[in-house]
């Protein structure tokens, strides 16, 4: 079981050790898979390959991936100044200074802080060595992300087990209380009929049939049976570590909530109603956390 929340970092250097790629990837919950990338423009040719790699490792969640290029020797960066842009900007600043009556001249260090004036030679990602190094960096980051998601998933699994145990114990408390509800409802109906002066012949087959139908509406045996069956399935999901089961678990929790709601409607006694509220509260807590399971 994996959470959809996590973070991973990966680094890989070229064989000559001159260039290192550092990749950071984070993820949050989302119903489908989504990848947002922040890549230097020279890496855009590798974006499709990075997306395929991420999709092969992660099935659900919104991922944000960023890659940084680090030159181990600053001399290898091959920085240069865009002379044409710098001269043009300098001339414009002088004209503006003259028109504004400014006496100070533009300083070179201030100009160099303007984006685009300092250029770096773009890496050639048609080079298979660079592409493979970048891929290793991304792969390591994704693997570390998955490890963190697995760790978070294990924490959630333990929380689910605890809450599921509480659901099971509460249903065990409800079952004997609910077993007495049909007879109570039957007696309540007969009492009301008598209070309103309506004679009832309990030996009349038609009356008996109607009483059976009425009391059957208060029988929650099927709901309790289905709830226990759903609990068993949920335990199986919790013990299944090889699949992405978030959607299945979410659907199952909807079914559990529906059965609890029906049970509460069919057996609304003062003893059972507070227990139904407890069940619904725990189910809502589980449903919120299930939204974060891959």
Q: How far apart are CA 171 and CA 59, in angstroms?
A: 35
Provide the H-helix boundaries in the chain.
47-57, 83-100, 108-111, 128-179, 181-195, 205-216, 221-238, 246-266, 273-290
- For the record, the structure tokens of 278 come out as 């407890």
Query: What is the per-residue pLDDT across 3-60, written as a single tens digit (0 to 9) for each?
Result: 999 999 999 999 998 889 999 999 999 989 999 999 988 899 899 999 999 999 999 9
Most confident of 14-18, 51-55, 182-186, 217-221: 51-55
Tell me the average pLDDT across 147-166.
Answer: 95
The two beta strands, 19-28 and 33-38, are unpaired
The separation between the first and the last C-alpha atoms of the chain, rounded to the nearest angstrom, is 7
Going by C-alpha positions, the residue among 231, 245, 264 that lies closest to residue 164 is: 231
pLDDT tens-digit map of 103-138: 777 776 776 677 766 665 667 888 899 999 999 999
**Cα–Cα distance, 179 to 182 (Å, whole number):** 7
Which among 37, 33, 36, 29 has a CA at the least distance from the CA of 55?
A: 33
Domains plus CATH for the chain? 6-76+125-148 (3.30.230.10), 79-120 (no CATH), 151-290 (no CATH)
Distant-in-sequence, close-in-space partners of 264: CB < 8 Å, separation ≥ 6: 272, 273, 276, 280
The helix/strand/coil state of 205 is: helix
pLDDT value of position 178? 87
pLDDT value, residue 117: 65
DSSP 8-state code for residue 75: G
Residue 206 exposure: Cα atoms within 13 Å on the Cβ side: 2
Distance CA 294, CA 247 (A): 8
Q: What is the pLDDT of residue 277?
A: 96
The answer to whether residues 157 and 239 touch, using CB atoms and an 8 Å cutoff, is no
Identify the residue whose tokens are 């590798």.
46
Q: Would you state the pLDDT for residue 123?
A: 78
By the 8 A CB rule, do 67 and 43 touch? yes
58 burial via Cβ count (<10 Å: 0-12, 13-18, 19+): buried
């Amino acid at each position: 079981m994996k959470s959809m929340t996590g973070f991973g970092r990966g680094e890989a250097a070229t064989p000559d050790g001159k260039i290192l790629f550092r990749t950071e990837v984070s993820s949050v919950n989302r119903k489908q898979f989504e990848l947002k990338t922040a890549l230097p423009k020279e890496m855009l040719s590798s974006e499709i390959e990075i997306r395929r790699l991420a999709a092969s490792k992660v099935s659900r969640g919104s991922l944000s991936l960023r890659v940084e290029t680090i030159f181990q020797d600053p001399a290898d960066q091959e920085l240069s100044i865009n002379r044409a842009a710098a001269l043009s900007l300098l001339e414009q600043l002088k004209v503006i200074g003259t028109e504004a009556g400014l006496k100070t001249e533009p300083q070179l260090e201030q100009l160099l802080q303007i984006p685009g004036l300092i250029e770096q030679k773009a890496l050639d990602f048609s080079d298979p060595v660079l592409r493979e190094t970048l891929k290793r960096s991304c792969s390591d980051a994704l693997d570390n992300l998955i490890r963190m998601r697995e760790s978070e998933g294990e924490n959630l699994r333990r929380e689910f087990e605890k809450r599921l145990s509480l659901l099971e114990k509460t249903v065990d408390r409800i079952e004997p209380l609910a077993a007495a509800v049909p007879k109570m409802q039957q007696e309540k109906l007969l009492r009301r009929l008598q209070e309103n002066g309506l004679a009832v012949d309990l030996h009349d087959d038609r009356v008996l049939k109607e009483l059976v139908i009425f009391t059957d509406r208060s029988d929650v045996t099927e709901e309790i049976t289905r709830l226990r069956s759903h609990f068993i399935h949920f335990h199986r999901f919790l013990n299944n570590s090889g699949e992405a089961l978030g959607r299945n678990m979410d659907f199952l929790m909807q079914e559990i909530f529906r059965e609890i709601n029906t049970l509460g409607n069919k057996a609304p006694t003062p003893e059972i109603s507070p227990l139904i509220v407890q069940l619904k509260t725990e189910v809502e807590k589980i449903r919120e956390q299930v939204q974060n399971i891959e």
